[in-house]
Structure formats: C-alpha cells, structure tokens
Amino acid sequence: MGNQDPTQLRKKFDHFREECIWITNCYNLYRTLYEGGEATDAVLERVASAFFHDLNRIMVEHILLQICKITDPASSGHRQNLTVESLNNDLDTLGLISQDIIDRGEELKDYRDLIVRARNRLISHLDWQSVKEGKPLGEHEAREVSQFFACLFRYTDLVGEACGSGPLDYSVSACQGDAIDLLRALRNLSSRN
C-alpha cells in the first residue's frame, strides 16, 4: 500500500502540500472576511448581508471538509488516500519518520476529532437525527484552529525536510486582487453612498 521509493514519496508529499496550501488560502480568506473586526463586519452587512452570510457557511463547511480529507485514514477500501497517516506510513517504511513528525500527526488528528462529527453528520451527509436535534457539532475555540494551522505548517516542514522537498512558508496568501482588495473596494463604495 505504501510508497517504497523516495522519489514517489516526494511527489506524493508535494501534492499533499499543495492541498495544505489550498486549505490555508481558504482559511486566510475566511479570516480576512469574517475575523476582520467590527468595521469589516459593518461593510459586509451594509453591502450584501445575505450573500456574505451564505458565503460564511460555504467557507466554514469547505474548510472543515478539506481538513478532514487530509486527516482521513490512510486508505478507503483498496484505495490509498493522500493523508497525514498515509505519508507517515510511507516515511516509516523508508526509515524517514521522526518522533516530531509522529507527534505533529497526532496533534492534527486531535483537531480532526473535534470536527469529524460535523463533517460526517452535516457536511458530507445530512444525518436526519442531527438535523432534527439542531445541536451544533464540531464547536471549538478559535485558538484551536490557529493551533491546527501552526501544527500543519510544522508538520509539512518536517516531512518536506525528511523526504527532500524542503520547508516552505505558505502561511500568508495575500496577493493583488484578493479579499483585502475586495474589502477596500467595498469600503470605498459604501462610503460614497
């Protein structure tokens, strides 16, 4: 099931890190729009409250789904998943695993444990009992999300070093035409009216 070839492991890891970059970009977008403070909240409310409310739910569900995907078990049936567990299995097979990698993998799994019920019952599936009860699933503190991403960055740096891809800082994803520019334009439009 695992990759016995270091070159294949490096390719697998590079694809995994691309997924982590995407999740981080999504999370950074979410934070820019929904954790920007009262002034940002007021602009979103004034400009298109229903749209930004719906977008918030879409983004939260998407981010939780993506995090669960990379922290899923190593395989589903006879298919190998691109996950922390499958990378760790390959690293172990090649003698490249370290205790630090194992520990970071466990921390990532701990965060998954907080959100997986929400993914299973309300995001990937629509469990009637959960809908009927109307209880929130997967609630946790903002600091736990921050800790997850700090751990993810550390994990990918450690694995990148172990398999020869090297570390990569992808914690910031600002660029021209991003959510910061959108908010600036919305503030300008809003102030003219």
Sign of CA dihedral 38, 175, 187, 62: negative
Token couple for 126: 């629509």
pLDDT by residue (tens digit) across 118-158? 999 999 998 999 999 998 888 899 999 999 999 999 999 99
Q: Domain map of the chain by residue range?
A: 6-192
pLDDT for position 2: 52
Residue 76 belongs to what H/E stretch? strand 75-76
| Residuewise pLDDT in 10s, the chain (193 residues) | 455 789 999 999 999 999 999 999 999 999 999 999 999 999 999 999 999 999 999 999 999 999 999 999 999 999 999 999 999 999 999 999 999 999 999 999 999 999 999 999 999 998 999 999 998 888 899 999 999 999 999 999 999 999 999 999 999 987 888 899 999 999 888 777 6
Please give the Cα distance from 150 to 184 (Å, whole number). Answer: 28
pLDDT for position 80: 94
Token couple for 190: 């809003």
Residue 79 belongs to what H/E stretch? strand 79-80
Please give the Cα distance from 14 to 5 (Å, whole number). Answer: 14
Q: Which of 153, 166, 119, 144 is nearest to 24 (CA)?
A: 153
- Do the beta carbons of residue 189 and residue 39 sit within 8 Å? no
- Do the beta carbons of residue 6 and residue 90 sit within 8 Å? no
- Do the beta carbons of residue 9 and residue 90 sit within 8 Å? yes
Query: On the CB side of 184, how many CA atoms lie within 13 Å of its CA?
Result: 6
